[in-house]
Amino acid sequence: MLSIPGSNVHCCDGPTRREFLRVGGATLFGLSLPHFLSLKALASANPASGIQRGKPFGNAKSVILLFLQGGPSHLDIWDPKPNAPSNIRGEFKPIKTKVDGIQVSETMPLLANQMDKITLIRSLSYTPVGLFNHTAAIYQMMTGYPPDKVSPSGQLEPPSPRDFPHMGSHIAKMKPPKEAMLPFVEMPRPLQESSVIGKGGAAGFLGKAYDPYRLYQDPNKTVKTEDLTLRADVSPDRLKDRFNLLKGVNGSMPDLEKSVSSFALNEYYEKAYDLVLSGKARDAFNLEKEPAAMRDRYGHTTFGQGALLARRLIEAGTRFVQLNWPAVANGNPEVDAWDTHAANFGPLKNLHCPVLDKALSALIEDMDQRGLFEDTLLVAVGEFGRSPRLGVSTSGNSNAPDGRDHWPYCYTGVIAGAGVKRGTLYGKSDDTGSSPLEDPVHPTDLVATIYYALGIDPGMEILNDLNQPRELVKGNPLLKLFG
């Protein structure tokens, strides 16, 4: 039986064994096995779909995700409640923004002047069901799927090749860059809670070829990119000779092996070869090419220079850049973490919000001035917010009288670009910031929106590591976000 690529079988991990058996008669129609594999890859990247097309579907070519791991307080940053009781509203006052009727906390004065370019989603919400701790919530936010196994503490097992892939990995596979550029970059440190490192931050069952390029360095210092540079003893011609030799070895294999290896060669070696020789990625990482005034504008911090680097990577052709808040999710709030159980107001006022405000406002203004919002989606979000009432325990953690615990029931995210409405709110929280009043948004809906903006059907069928059909994400794109 002949199986023609483009049928209802959608697989992100290449052809199945059954399809290899079926393709035996394909050469009768002039379709060789290498051609079959190539067409199969195209069919996988462009599945048939009944989802609503047309704008904003496919508005975006790239995504910058500022992931504020640790769970920043929505009430003290994006969604102030000045009329709530003192044990809810906290110490900060609201301030006006550039958009009439929209206020933010006094901790974000620079962002207030950029409000006309963004949308605040004030109704992100989910019921925990074991996702009260950082690792499990992060996994859901990154992959669009809840984890299979959650311990009573909310901790997860270490990363596994059977994990559901990070959305950036799916995007790297389905929408590879057209130029010799890194498709998916994560920096400046991995996703982490305690000893669980990198959970939800890898390609999982897609395979390591679609893992992010991990720049685990401080962009506020000199970035080293030796792995993107030719060794001193290897000239471009010598590298080319090695590459051609590898092709020659590949060409001497039996037909079936040759076809499979050729497919892999295109996926792995050619991209690496082009990346090293082009130097484009290496140049993108060189922040010294930016004017001093621009670097000052973003702030000389790890997060600030990381945001500037994210913009440079997108301009160079990277599809998905993830800038993680440079702290362990449950780190010390007095030093660098959003996890403000023991102290909330001092760290936000003196440490975290000044860094976030400067970097985020600079990135928004810079992207707008450069026209990058035409086809780049910018998202800033954490895995959850913080408890409206001070000093209470909602996750089993102890909290100081001025501390806030984890709160997944209602929090805020920022989204802009790629046709997203400017200067507006999406959703509304209640008078205490405890739950959504209007348009609740599950984190998986946000993931679905990212896929949709990139022209990827979020409901498309993929096969997991057990060859079981799954939706790409169990969420619905937020079409009302777009103008």
Is residue 430 a contact partner of residue 437, using CB atoms and an 8 Å limit? yes
Question: For residue 39, what pLDDT is reported?
Answer: 41
Quick one: pLDDT at residue 334? 92
The residue assigned the tokens 């440190």 is: 189
Low-confidence winner among 47-56, 158-167, 197-206, 324-333 (lowest mean pLDDT) = 47-56
- Give the pLDDT mean for 270-281: 64
364 φ/ψ sector (left φ>0, alpha ψ -120 to 50, else beta): alpha
- What is the pLDDT averaged over residues 178-189? 91
pLDDT bucket at 365, cuts 50 / 70 / 90: very high
Q: What is the pLDDT of residue 32?
A: 42
* Most confidently modeled range among 46-50, 261-265, 316-320: 316-320
User: Is omega for the bond preceding 5 within 30 degrees of 0, making it cis?
Assistant: no
H or E element that contains 314: helix 302-316
pLDDT digits (tens, 9 = 90+) for 81-123: 999 999 999 999 999 999 999 999 999 999 999 999 999 999 9
Task: Give the pLDDT of residue 27.
Answer: 40
Residue whose structure tokens are 């989910």? 126
**Window from 71-80, 130-139, 231-240, 404-413 with minimum mean pLDDT:** 231-240
pLDDT band at 73 (very low <50, low <70, confident <90, very high): very high
* The CATH number of domain 62-217+297-457, selected from 3.40.720.10, 3.40.50.150, 1.10.150.120, 3.40.50.2000: 3.40.720.10
> 304 pLDDT exceeds 60?
yes
Residue 1, pLDDT > 60, answer: no
The whole-number pLDDT of residue 451 equals 98
Per-residue pLDDT, 254: 46
- pLDDT-derived band of residue 152, with 50, 70 and 90 as boundaries? low
* pLDDT at residue 262 greater than cutoff 90: no
Q: What local confidence, expressed as pLDDT, does residue 272 receive?
A: 58
Looking at residue 143, its pLDDT comes to 96
What the block records as the tokens of 201 is: 């931050």
Amino acid at 334: E
Give pLDDT tens digits for 165-183: 999 999 999 999 888 888 9
Phi and psi dihedrals of 103, rounded to 5?
-115, 155
Share of the chain above pLDDT 90, in %: 65
Q: What is the DSSP string of 343-382?
A: -SHHHIIIIIHHHHHHHHHHHHHHHHHTTGGGTEEEEEE-
Segment 333-347 shows an average pLDDT of 94
Residue 46: pLDDT above 50? no
pLDDT tops 60 at residue 346: yes
- Whether 373 has a pLDDT exceeding 60, the answer reads yes
3-state secondary structure of 404: coil
pTM exceeds 0.95 for this model: no
Mean pLDDT of the chain: 83
Looking up tokens 């050619």 gives 270
Q: Using the predicted structure, report yes or no on whether residue 457 has a pLDDT greater than 60.
A: yes
Radius of gyration of the chain (CA): 23
pLDDT at residue 464, as a whole number? 87
Q: Which residue has the higher pLDDT, 2 or 482?
A: 482
